Amino acid sequence: ATCELQGVLIGLDLLPMEPIDGVQFIQGDFREETVLAQLKDALRLADGSYRTVDLVVSDMAPNLSGVDSVDAARIEHLVELAVDFTREHVRRDGALVVKLFHGGAYAPLVKLFKDTFRVVKPIKPKSSRDKSSETFLVGLGLKRW
């Protein structure tokens, strides 16, 4: 059985990526307005409106300094940017998945997700090392509708 893509896949990363059939790639920093503008342009339809997004997956992570409060603030900022983008572009029953680390930013970000989404689920993937504080937070269905 073959599966034919019925939508658009857009990847965005700081580092270059080998081309993948059916994926539009933007190289740059999501925190920069010019890069965010490129992403929004990729979502623009012929009539000037924007397509709604089904899913945003963010594995953005800052370079860690080792200072918990600084690292927590950096992680929180990146997740807030992903949530803001999701609020603006994801369809009502769409989803956001972000990578988090247990620490100072965890509780406030779970609260942000609970304020934003109808369903919030923390997930520790089997592929993640047992000792790693890495976890993923999934938000389903925006509350703003």
Which active-site residues does the annotation give?
A: 99
CA dist 14 and 114 (Å) reads 29
Q: How many residues does the chain have?
A: 145
Residue with tokens 């999501």: 30
* Alpha-carbon distance values, 68 to 14, 62, 73, 85 (Å): 24, 12, 9, 26
Pairing of strands 9-13, 23-27: parallel
Structure tokens at 144: 């703003």
Asked whether 75 and 105 are in contact (CB, 8 A), the reply is: yes
Residue 123 is inside which H or E element, if any? Answer: strand 117-123
The pair phi, psi for residue 60, each rounded to 5°, is -60, 140
